[in-house]
Amino acid sequence: MKRLRVFVVSDSVGETGDQVAKAVISQFRPSLENTVIRRFPHIQSEELIRKIVCLAAKQNAFIVYTLVRQEMQSLLHELCEKEMVYAVDILGPALKTMATFMEEFPLEAPGIVHQLDDDYFKKIEAIEFAVKYDDGRDPRGLLQADIVLVGVSRTSKTPLSQYLAHKRYKVANVPLVPEVEPPEELLKIDPKKCFGLIISPDKLNSIRKERLMSLGLNDDAIYAQHNRILDEIQHFEKIVAKIGCKVIDVTNKAVEETANVIIEHISNCK
């Protein structure tokens, strides 16, 4: 079997070219047997392109390239023709066609897609953070969080945390219960990043009864009783007063509405 050498040349990390090369090669060699794929990332100079083409000619390598700058595309193409090196341009034809369609010139800025990837990974990190520090599981997260939510049970702390996480905010939330002292970290955080979620007793009573019924339990449990709810709200008001944080009434608010209030408040505090 003929030994196959493939050079992946890119002005970014070369991941796109690498994946395309493997997809094509697998149609001839499903296990990529006797194949060497060498990646040349962050190629920004003409000198490097000349050296790579020269090396490809010596080693009889096939070049796959993803270069966004037209001058670099043209140079590599010309050198490959001169040295009789087989090469395929992955991005060039698509960029030209898109430019014609949109009647605009491309930015020709390497690595933009990976900036978007960074944004994606920040979102994933924030989602994982929200899960890890949900419902007061680990008070150490309070000092690391961008946003801290406090409130009695069933005030939408968890769904709100997840919604804000999709906006790339690291959110921790803490349930406030009269029988349990709040964690020390809660009183050490910046009040500007903490938000108390309050809800009307009647609305909370209705939500908790529905919750109990969905679990197959009686809706007259202490958890849903009016006096218990009033005690919890009184305890909540005592704690948020100590923190000195903003309180948001979520009685008739959708999660998105509450999130917008929080984001606007944080932006104004910067």
> What is the arithmetic mean of pLDDT over 101-129?
82
- State which of 110, 133, 152 marks the end of a domain: 110
Q: Answer whether residue 128 shows pLDDT above 80.
A: yes
What's the pLDDT score for residue 11? 92
Residue 94 near residue 69 (C-beta atoms within 8 A): no
> What is the arithmetic mean of pLDDT over 197-206?
95
Same-domain pairing of 265 and 131 = yes
* pTM of the full structure: 0.62
Same-domain pairing of 262 and 155 = yes
Q: Answer whether residue 215 shows pLDDT above 90.
A: no
- State which of 110, 136, 152 marks the end of a domain: 110
DSSP string, the chain: ---EEEEEEESS--HHHHHHHHHHHTTT-TT-TTEEEEEE-S---HHHHHHHHHHHHHHT-EEEEE--SHHHHHHHHHHHHHHT--EEESSHHHHHHHHHHHTS-----TTHHHHHHHHHHHHHHHHHHHHHTGGGS-TTHHHH-SEEEEESTTSSHHHHHHHHHTTT--EEEEE--TTSPPPGGGGTS-GGGEEEEE--HHHHHHHHHHHHHHTT--TTSGGG-HHHHHHHHHHHHHHHHHHT-EEEE-TT--HHHHHHHHHHHHHHH-
**The domain spanning residue 249 has which CATH number?**
3.40.50
Binding site as annotated, residues for ADP: 151-158
> What is the arithmetic mean of pLDDT over 103-130?
82
Same-domain pairing of 86 and 121 = no
Q: How far is CA 133 from the centre of its chain?
A: 17
Q: Answer whether residue 70 shows pLDDT above 70.
A: yes
Mean pLDDT (the chain) is 93
Residue 26 near residue 75 (C-beta atoms within 8 A): no
Binding site as annotated, residues: 151-158
> What is the arithmetic mean of pLDDT over 64-93?
96
> What is the arithmetic mean of pLDDT over 255-267?
95
What's the pLDDT score for residue 229? 96
Condensed to tens digits (0 to 9), the pLDDT of residues 9-44 reads 999 888 899 999 999 999 999 888 899 999 999 999
3-state secondary structure 134-194: HHHCCCCHHHHCCEEEEECCCCCHHHHHHHHHCCCCCEEEEECCCCCCCCHHHHCCCHHHE
Same-domain pairing of 186 and 88 = no
What's the pLDDT score for residue 110? 78
The Cα–Cα gap between 63 and 52 comes to: 9
Q: Answer whether residue 244 shows pLDDT above 90.
A: yes
Q: Please count the other Cβ atoms lying within 10 Å of the Cβ belonging to residue 248.
A: 21
Same-domain pairing of 28 and 60 = yes
Same-domain pairing of 241 and 193 = yes
Same-domain pairing of 149 and 228 = yes
When pLDDT is cut at 50, 70 and 90, the band that residue 255 belongs to is: very high
Q: Which domain holds residue 86?
A: 4-110
- State which of 75, 94, 110 marks the end of a domain: 110
Same-domain pairing of 98 and 124 = no
What's the pLDDT score for residue 106? 86
